[in-house]
Amino acid sequence: MTEQLERSLVLVKPDGFARGLTGEVLRRIEAKGYRLVALRVLVPGVEELHRHYAEHEGKPFFEPLVEFMMSGPVTAAVIEGQGCIPGFRSLAGTTNPTEAAPGTIRGDLGRDWGTTVQQNIVHGSDSPESAAREIAIWFPGL
Ligand code: IDP
Ligand code: MG
């Protein structure tokens, strides 16, 4: 079966940005063969973060997560390639960086810095619907 050509929304979160890991994340994306379509560096606002993380509203980690995501610059990227939505999730590894497999971005580079927020370097869209919704938040008009 041929995988769908698709786009995914990737964020290098404030922990990854502050540690100078944006280039390393983008390197892994390009090394995998995905194409960079759009790139921005910005400090996210509360409104776009509430939209981005709407599915987690009301969970105990929601407000700390939003605070963390506003704590400094992030790099937002739209990537493109066959199967890049699940493909980038594989590159990223599982949510908890302590448990994420070596070889993945979170497994190799992420760790728990002792805060209530799970700092894990990157975000990646989890479905075509999420990708379309998230791309519209971070890259309106794309
Ligand atoms: P994902 O980023 O792997 O898709 P989600 O479950 O969608 O994981 O959670 C969104 C983000 O919220 C995670 O990447 C992480 O930064 C944070 N998070 C998720 N679960 C927890 C938790 O149990 N405690 C603290 N932060 C969490
Ligand atoms: Mg998620």
Residue 36 sits in a domain whose CATH number is 3.30.70.141
| pLDDT per residue as tens digits for the range 66-86 | 999 999 999 999 999 999 999
CA of 41 to the centre of ligand 1 (A): 22
Active-site residue (options: 50, 52, 56, 123): 123
Q: Which two tokens stand for residue 46?
A: 């509360």
Range scoring the smallest mean pLDDT among 19-23, 90-94, 113-117? 113-117
| pLDDT per residue as tens digits for the range 36-69 | 999 999 999 999 999 999 999 999 999 999 999 9
> Of ligand 1's atoms, which has the minimum distance to the CA of residue 95?
3
| Containing structural domain, residue 66 | 5-138
Residues in the chain: 142
User: Total domain count for the chain?
Assistant: 1
What local confidence, expressed as pLDDT, does residue 1 receive? 67
Question: Strands across the sheet with 122-124, in order?
Answer: 35-42, 74-82, 5-12, 122-124
What local confidence, expressed as pLDDT, does residue 112 receive? 83
What local confidence, expressed as pLDDT, does residue 76 receive? 98
Q: Spell out where 2-139 has E strands.
A: 5-12, 35-42, 74-82, 122-124
| pLDDT per residue as tens digits for the range 88-101 | 999 999 999 999 99
Q: Is the CB–ligand 1 distance for residue 85 below 6 Å?
A: no
Residues 6+ apart with CB under 8 A from 55: none
Ligand lying closest to the C-alpha of residue 134 = 2
Report pTM. 0.97
> Of ligand 1's atoms, which has the minimum distance to the CA of residue 94?
3
